[in-house]
Each structure stands twice: as C-alpha cells, then as structure tokens.
Amino acid sequence: MRVQRKHMLAAGVAVVATAVVAVGTGLGFADSAPARASVCQGSVTFSAEGGAPAATSDRFPVGTRLRVTNLDNNRSATVTVTGPSGSCVLLNAAAMELVREPGKNVIRRNVVERLDGGGATQPGGGQPGSGAAQPGGGAAQPGGGQPGAASACPGSVTFSAEGGAPAATSGRFPVGTRLRVTNLDNNRSTTVTVTGPSGSCVLLNAAAMDQVREPGKNVIRRNVVEVLR
C-alpha cells in the first residue's frame, strides 16, 4: 500500500511539472521559442544619407516597409525603402542611430522583417534561395545605370568597421574571390579578396574604403566592381 502511494505521488509531480513547462512555453518563458526569420542575411550597415530614418535596398522595391532589429541591444528601427543600393538593406544615418551600439558601424546579429507581407527577391530578379551568383556572371551598370564600364555589383558601395588589410565581404561571391572596386568620382581603386559573407554584393572593410573614398563620405555611389580572374 505504501509503494502504491509513492507511485501516485511521483505521477502527480510529473503532471504538475508538465503543466508548468507548457504554461511557461506559451508565455514565452522557455528557451525553445522559435527565432524570427530574417529576410536579409549577413551584417547590416549604413550610408551617410540624411533625413528621417529610411533605407535603400537591392532586393525590395521602393515603398517596402522593413523593421531592422539589433539583437545585441534589442533596439529596432522601422524604415521605408527609398531607392536602390548594393545591399539587401542599407540604413541611412538616422535609422542606424536608432539601432546601433555606440561606436559601431555594423550590426552583425540582426533580424530584418518585411512588414507588408511580401517576399524578398534576389538581386537581378532571382527567387529567394536561388543561391549567390558566381564570379563571371551577368554584370550590371554601376551607380544606378550610368553608361560605361560594366560592374559586377549594382548600386552603391559602403563599408564595415572591420580592421586588417584591405578586404571585403559579399553576399554574392564566394570566399577567395578577388574584386577590384573603383570610385568613378576620383578614379581611385582598391583590389580586395572576399573573406566572408555579408548582406551586400560587396562590403569593403575600413582599410579598403580608405583607399577609394572621398573625404567624409561613407558611400560610393558611382562605382565599378570587377571580378579579377
């Protein structure tokens, strides 16, 4: 009789424990809650654009509303896409100030959500998940369709706060790809190797950007990006 009572007590504790776990999960206490999906992969950075918080993009049409959350400080910015760029999402200065940590020019741990319910398209009109273009693929015109040399990346070129020798990250070219980035406004060039992924077609590090940018500018609008074999 005493043994049977112990079994009943153990069963009762198990039921209560199960109920507590279920309630905790429903209220968001459990660690197993699924993470939000992001419509952009890689780091988020910014341009020197002024005005109210906004963004540019090579993936979403003008008028698309996006919410960008910095997972390191849980701060968010809701922005509207106002034009094209070389990134999945490139914040302007005001939007970056809403979400970044002091002294940081890049947000590595982030979630980008599309608020109008549409899906993302890959640069050049591909469908999501179709994969990155390989070096030597179709070229686009630099700086928003200016005539001249063909560029492997459309839109503006910007940079992260990464240190080290001149290098770049990319959401389009695999690690080891060599690229030459030329600023058409001053005809200065830098040759870089892709060292990892990012949310941009090409995202220069600080040393590479210093080789090509004009003083005080954090974005290169008129540019040519060439794949070197």
Q: Is the pLDDT of residue 148 over 70?
A: no
Would you state the structure tokens that stand for residue 183, as one six-digit string?
């600023």
pLDDT at 28: 37
Burial of 163: CB neighbours in 10 Å, binned 0-12, 13-18, 19+: exposed
pLDDT score for 79: 94
Highest mean pLDDT among 53-62, 69-78, 157-166: 69-78
227 vs 150, more confident: 227
Between 163 and 76, name the one with better pLDDT.
Answer: 76
DSSP 35: P
- Give 45-114's CATH code, choosing from 3.40.50.300, 2.102.10.10, 2.40.40.10, 3.40.50.1980: 2.40.40.10
pLDDT of residue 71: 93
Name the residue with tokens 């469908």. 127
Name, in order, each residue with C-beta under 8 angstroms of 224's C-beta and a sequence gap of 6 or more: 142, 148, 149, 150, 151, 181, 182, 184
> What pLDDT, in 10s, does the model give residues 157-215?
888 777 889 999 888 899 999 999 999 999 999 999 999 887 788 889 889 999 998 88
**Calpha distance 9→32 (Å, rounded):** 29
Q: Is the pLDDT of residue 30 over 50?
A: no
pLDDT range class, residue 6, cuts 50, 70, 90: low
Q: Please tell me the least confidently modeled range out of 14-18, 28-32, 112-116, 150-154.
A: 28-32
Q: How many whole angstroms separate alpha carbon 108 and alpha carbon 100?
A: 10
Report the C-alpha gap between 201 and 56 in whole angstroms: 13
**Quick one: DSSP state of residue 36?**
P
Assign 10 to helix, strand or coil: helix
Q: pLDDT digit string (tens) for 100-130?
A: 998 888 898 999 999 987 654 444 333 333 3
Sign of torsion, CA 187 137 106 192?
A: negative
User: Of 7-16, 33-42, 52-61, which gets the smallest average pLDDT?
Assistant: 7-16
Question: What is the average pLDDT across 68-87?
Answer: 90
| Type of residue found at 113 | E
Per-residue pLDDT for 89 more than 50? yes
Could you tell me the pTM of the whole model?
A: 0.52
Identify the pLDDT of residue 70: 94
The listed CATH number (3.40.50.300, 2.40.40.10, 3.30.70.2860, 3.90.550.10) that belongs to domain 142-228: 2.40.40.10
Q: Average per-residue pLDDT in the chain?
A: 75
DSSP string, 92-160: -HHHHHHHPPTT-S-BSSEEEEETTSPPP--TTSPPTTS-PPPTT---B-HHHH-SSS-BSS-B-BEE-
3-state DSSP assignment of residue 65? strand
The residue among 86, 28, 97 whose CA lies nearest residue 204 is: 86
Instruction: Determine the residue type at 23.
Output: V
Query: According to the model, what pLDDT value does residue 2 have?
Result: 55
Contact indicator for 54, 85 with CB cutoff of 8 Å: no
